[in-house]
Amino acid sequence: MIKGVHMRVLVIIPAYNEELNIKRVVSNLRDKYPQYDYVVVNDGSADSTSKICHEENFNIIDLPVNLGLAGAFQTGLKYADLKDYDCAIQFDADGQHRPEYIGTLVKGIEEGNDIVIGSRFVTQKKPLSMRMLGSRMIGWAIKVSTGKRVADPTSGMRMYSKKMIHEFASNINYGPEPDTISFLVKQGAAIKEIQVEIDDRTAGDSYLNWTKSMMYMLRMMISILFIQNFRKRSKTN
């Protein structure tokens, strides 16, 4: 990236059964922040998500089956890699992420970081709750494994540099999850957290219930503390 040249930013919006949110979220981004390109990745939704996007003439990729968040986001990163974007951000379709923070995260990439996390807990204290217990434990696992503190490891608002876009797009086992973040930190990737506010979901249901949340936490802990030690970083051109 040449200094002084405006970065091309892609906002990747994975969407699964978000008919109650998708129009509001994308319209707000498109109308108020036209400097950012976006793509909705419809992850095999069974509701009207795709229909709404096509009616509104949104930029959309329709996946024929549900691949899950990792597959949907990697599809978006492959699109970003193909279109030669300078950075790309994961942006929730449920309205929890605020687009006004995108520019701040871009500055973090311009500083030379590989991944910039929109964190709820850089300057704010993490609340004591069952939900945050999992975040604390995953953060502890990353600290033990890498020596680096990540205050909000489960934040889904993450921005990736051009180098990271290509690496994620080229490797099938690179999911947008804390274990991959931990792996990349261990491999020397530069990561920065920036304080943001994340809103509550206003409509629809989250795919994570209490049981799924506990299983997710356990899977991440095992992966970070054990499995990632045997993982090798693939070379990309």
CATH classification at residue 150: 3.90.550.10
Would you say residue 224 lies in a domain? yes
What local confidence, expressed as pLDDT, does residue 1 receive? 46
Query: Are the C-beta atoms of 158 and 117 separated by less than 8 Å?
Result: yes
Q: Identify whether 126 is part of a domain.
A: yes
CA distances from 168 to 45, 67, 77, 198 (A): 23, 16, 7, 25
> Which pLDDT belongs to residue 233?
73
In angstroms, the CA 190 to CA 184 distance is 8
Tokens of 59: 């930029």
CA dist., res. 13 & res. 38, Å (int)? 7
Domain enclosing residue 171, as ranges: 9-230
Average pLDDT of the residues in 147-164: 95
Tell me whether residue 175 is in a domain: yes
- Establish if 3 belongs to a structural domain: no
Task: Write down the pLDDT at residue 14.
Answer: 97
Would you say 22 and 40 are in contact if contact means Cβ atoms under 8 Å apart?
Answer: yes
2 found inside a domain: no
pTM over 0.85: yes
- Stretch 108-123: mean pLDDT: 94
The per-residue pLDDT of the chain, averaged, comes to 90
Res 2: pLDDT: 42
Place of tokens 């089956």: 65
Q: Quick one: pLDDT at residue 122?
A: 81
Find the mean pLDDT for residues 20-46: 97
- Say if 4 falls within a structural domain: no
Asked if the structure places residue 56 within a domain, the reply is yes
158 belongs to a structural domain = yes
- pLDDT on residue 236: 61
Into how many domains does the chain fold?
1
Report how far Cα 146 is from the mean position of its chain's Cα atoms: 21
| pLDDT reported for residue 123 | 80
Instruction: Single out the residue of 70, 154, 80 nearest to residue 119, CA to CA.
Output: 154
